[in-house]
Structure 1
Amino acid sequence: MNTRSEPLTIGALAKSAGVNVETIRFYQRRGLLAEPNRPHGGIRHYGPTDVARVRFVKSAQRLGFSLDEVAQLLRLEDGTHCREASALASARLADVRARLNDLQRMESALSELLEACSTRTGKVFCPLVASLREDAGMSS
């Protein structure tokens, strides 16, 4: 993080936060980051709190929160709304667990199909392709 107290340009903000300039602009359009006033004929300047805010957004996204959910978390960022933040996190955790279950089912199905492919002999139709055709409602 940039520890200097001097103002940052948008490029320096992006670099300090580990994102690109377009990400900063996108966050501003979404209302996740304020766009500072531009002094007459000058450039907008950002500070360490802006770097921290962008990093907060990126951290929340890495945990799977949508930008709408990140906006909700930002409204709760004073730390006094733990119950509301926990509710958002609980919903996110339920979604992650559902995705994990889906991935485990996919892994199991693919493993079985690969095993069937490796044990086939002769000119038998590929079990993987046959299964996909069957699921798609196509006849062989």
Structure 2
Amino acid sequence: MTNKKRTTLKDIANALNISPAAVSKAMHDDSRISDKTKEAVKRIAKELDYQPNHLASALRKGKSNLVGVIVPRTNSNFFSSVLEHMEAVLNKAGYNIIITQSNESFEKECKNIDTLLFTQVDGIIASMANETVDLSHYEK
């Protein structure tokens, strides 16, 4: 396993002797950037195997286009069918889904929520675990 450093916009900028802001604009086809520069940026980006940092982009935009889904288990016909249709609908709307399983555990459900929030999802859809639905274990 190699520990190869991820290529950044700054790396592309340094290779072309332009600013990282100009690289970003070129990557997004900004009309203020010449076609020649856009082509050079995209060529160098490909040569350096540039992959956008989606988490950084989500933080910048305040939107990740990710929806977290929590189900008790994925190995049931019901939930696998629901997930398939949910993903199709969300994909059409420009979202991807992250699926987690609670295994019917309230504690695992809470950990899944924390993980999804840390991942900066735009929303969470949850089918609550039996432990969560059974409110008898909560103190009054």
Coarse TM-score class (shorter-chain normalised): under 0.3
Query: Which has the larger share of strand?
Result: 2
Q: TM-score, normalised by structure 2?
A: 0.25
Query: Which has the larger share of helix?
Result: 1
Q: Greater relative contact order (Cα 8 A, min sep 6): structure 1 or 2?
A: 2
Give the structure with higher Rg (CA): 1
